[in-house]
Every structure is written in C-alpha cells, then in structure tokens.
Amino acid sequence: MKIKFWGVRGSIPVPGPKTAKYGGNTTCIEIRTDDQELIILDGGTGIFPLAQSLLGEIPLTANVFVTHSHWDHIQGLPFFIPFFVPGNRMRLHGAYDFVSGRGVEQVMDAQLQYSFFPIREAELKATIEYVKLAPGEAVQLRTASVTPVLLNHPVINFGYRIDANGKSVFFTGDHEPYYNIYDAADESFREYQELIEEKEQSILEAVAGVDVLVADTSYTVEEYPAKKGWGHGHFDSSIDLAKKAGAKILYCTHHEPTRSDSELEQEFAKILARHPQQSGGPEYRLAREGEEIEI
C-alpha cells in the first residue's frame, strides 16, 4: 500500500514561502493498494494537484471518502478534473447528515450552485455515484476494505480505516478527544464518563495495530484549552491514541494555518522532547505535502 499526502493544512489554504516545506493545501490523501486501486481521503485544495497527476490514467475509477462536510475537507472537489471527463467513474462516500436530512450528495450539490460556481453538477461528464455510509459498516472495494468510524467533531465526522493486502492505515479527519461536560460533583458526571470511556474504547479497537495512523494535531496542549469544543486534537492527544492503539507510525496533520514551517518544527521538537521515541513504540512524523510512503 502506498500513501501520498496532497494537503496537510487545516481550516484554510495558506500558500507562500512560510509554508513551502510542509505545504499550504488543505486536506487530501491518496492511497494506492498493491493492485493500484485508487482511494482518496477528503477533497480539500490538495485534490487539485492530485488531479493533475491522474490525467495520464484516464479513464479511471476512484473512490473518494469524505470525512465530513467542512470546507477545508471538500473545497477542492469542484476542481477535481476527473469529474469533467467522460468514461471516468467516481464514487463519493460519506455520512448521512441528520441535520440536513441528506447524504454525501449535498457536498457537491451545495458547492455546484451558480451563486458559488459557474458549472452545474448536471454538466459533469463522469459517472458519479453517491454512497451513504454507516458507522462500523465496512465498504468492500475491489482490493481493499474501508471502515468508517464515528469520531468527535461539531458535525458528523468519520475516521476511516483502510485494510488491504495485510496492511492498514487509519485517518481521523478532524477529531477532538472526548471530555466530560459535567462537573465532577454533578450527578450526571459518572454516567457521561462511562459513555466517554465506551466511545474511546471503540476508537481504540478501530485503530488497533495499524501500520500508519494519520491524526488531527491542530494544536499544542498549551493552546488547546482556548480551543476546547472546536473539534480538533493536539499533539499529545494523538500521541496518546497512537501509543494505546499500538500504531507503528503516527503522522501529525491538519497543521494550524497560522503556524509557519519553522514554528511547526519548533513545536514538534518540544513534543518529541516530551515524548521520546521508545523501543517498540510508534514513530512520530509531521505530515508533509508531496511525501509518499510505502507500507
């Protein structure tokens, strides 16, 4: 299995010299199975350079899995060139939104309106199929299995576990560690804490033993209290998840857009000093746009 990062910034694209090393595009990850089956995780602005790389493979089939419908995870989809080419087959997978009462089809429908984009969905030439996912129910592709896992974010967010040919990767999308909303003295505290522990255990089981964990590490632990409830994790929470789940490699992603490359490396150095590499434990890396690994 091959993994390539096409977008690793969070919230908003930040091009320029201060982000040139790790990249300024928002979330998009390409996964290739050993049989070259194409899986795309999220459609942030990183999906546009990915599209350029796919032009030599047309006609193609791609399975796009959307973690959730916030802009930085979908804003590149209208610019995904394969949508415009006859003979291509695109399957867009995502959650049912209980608020809107619609599935992942709303992601394209909302963006491809004349008020926001000059081309209507009906004008796209590829065959587009929308697949509604349910938590814990695996989707069997030709050579891979993809399992959606409900995580903690202000809108429904699926993390995805991809298993193929004995290798595995888990991507959280956006995920904030669960926390108890009640004071310890409140009579509801214990019941809610049990619910949190149940949810945390289900996540650990889903991530257990993966070769690669790609996790939301938007903040430092010092920054997190001011951002609590925004739906994002921090370095320490993702490292804790990687350790408990027995992941081999942790890639930290969704980099804070106000953080320059040098500032990102400075914060990461502090993290490594606090969490030194241990024998048999996970290896920690910063996700970098353009990096490709094989597992």
Mean pLDDT of 131-156: 96
Per-residue pLDDT band at 102 (split at 50, 70, 90)? confident
pTM of the model: 0.96
What pLDDT was estimated at residue 282? 96
Average pLDDT over residues 167-192: 94
In contact, 216 and 172? CB cutoff 8 Å: yes
Confirm if 233 and 216 have CB atoms less than 8 A apart. Answer: yes
Given pLDDT bands bounded at 50, 70 and 90, which one contains residue 103? confident
pLDDT at 54 over 80: yes
All structural domains of the chain with their residue ranges: 2-294
Where does the pLDDT of residue 272 fall: very low under 50, low under 70, confident under 90, or very high at 90 and above? very high
Which H or E element spans position 243? helix 235-245
More confident residue, 187 or 212: 212
**Tens of pLDDT, residues 58-86:** 999 999 999 999 999 999 999 999 999 99
Q: What is the mean pLDDT of residues 90-115?
A: 89
Three-class DSSP labels, 79-145 = HCHHHHCCCCEEEEEEECECCCCECCHHHHHHHCCCCCCCCCHHHCCCEEEEEEECCCCCEECCCCE
**pLDDT > 80? residue 114:** yes
Residue 147 pLDDT > 90:
yes
Structural tokens at position 2: 């091959």
Tens digit of pLDDT for each residue in 219-233? 999 999 999 999 999
CATH fold for the domain made of 2-294? Metallo-beta-lactamase; Chain A (3.60.15)
| Predicted pLDDT at 31 | 98
Give the Cα separation of 36 and 186 in Å (integer). Answer: 54
What average pLDDT does the chain have? 95
Predicted local confidence at residue 96, as pLDDT: 87
Whether pLDDT at 55 is above 80: yes
pLDDT in tens, 185-206: 898 999 999 999 999 999 999 9
